[in-house]
Amino acid sequence: MISTNDFRTGLTIEVDGDVYSVVEFQHVKPGKGSAFVRSKLKNIRTGGVIERTFRAGEKVNRAHMERKEVQYLYRDGDSFVFMDNQTYDQMSITLAQLGDNINYLKENMNIILLTYNGELMGIDLPHSVELKVVAAAPGVRGDTASGATKAATLETGLKIQVPLFVEEGDVVKVDTRTGEYLERA
């Protein structure tokens, strides 16, 4: 059990039989009445975000996520094959379980697999990945009215906005949390 006073961003808790990750929290002490914790929780299974208010000091169950390092090997239709780096066992994960994370997966990439009570909950990607630009619109000098960016397609099929100087064949660093261009690698 963990107190709501100990909430931290990224903490996983169990509420109403589901596993949630704390996205945001705010400890509120009104002038009149008792203190409470206002929180934003993300359901790890569905990805939905809910807002929930707890009394200050209320106890909730902490969800201990098992983290296992795996390597992405290849795509086989609608499933993705990963290998456990310790036992070399291979496992398949469906497209539905991965969601939008497929836009950042490259072959031979190491990621963290998250499980809870033996059930796959998802994957934990690094904060940024380096991907090759396979198609980029030509950048016109002086065309800065649009914020000096242009559309580019990366090797995984992800489409992002990049600065005008980025061309086909360049490798760019992309933030996996927001899907935005960070820098040229």
Give the tens place of pLDDT for each residue, 49-104: 899 999 888 899 888 888 889 999 988 888 889 998 888 888 888 887 777 888 88
The total of structural domains in the chain comes to 3
pLDDT band at 173 (very low <50, low <70, confident <90, very high): very high
CATH number of the CATH domain containing 17: 2.30.30.30
On whether both 134 and 178 belong to a single domain, the answer is yes
Q: What is the mean pLDDT of the chain?
A: 86
Element (H, E) at 150: strand 149-154
For residues 13-42, average pLDDT:
89
- How sure is the predictor about 5, in pLDDT bands with cuts at 50, 70 and 90? confident
The CATH number covering residue 135 comes to 2.40.50.140
User: Do residues 132 and 178 both lie within one domain?
Assistant: yes
- pLDDT for 178 equals 83
**pLDDT(146) > 60:** no
Question: In terms of Cα–Cα distance, which of 137, 170, 174 is closest to 158?
Answer: 174
Examine the pLDDT at 129 and tell me if it is beyond 80: yes
Range of the domain at 113: 66-124
Whole-angstrom Cα distance, residue 96 to residue 63? 23
Q: State the pLDDT at residue 143.
A: 57
Assess whether 118 and 165 both reside in one domain. no
Contacts of 173 (CB under 8 A, 6+ apart): 128, 129, 130, 181, 182, 183, 184, 185
Return the pLDDT at 51.
Answer: 92
Pair 52, 16 in one domain = yes
Of residues 171, 185, 94, 174, the one with CA closest to residue 136: 171
For residue 144, pLDDT beyond 70 = no
Alpha-helical segments (H) within 7-139: 95-98
Percent share of the chain, pLDDT over 70: 95
Domain end marker among 17, 39, 62: 62
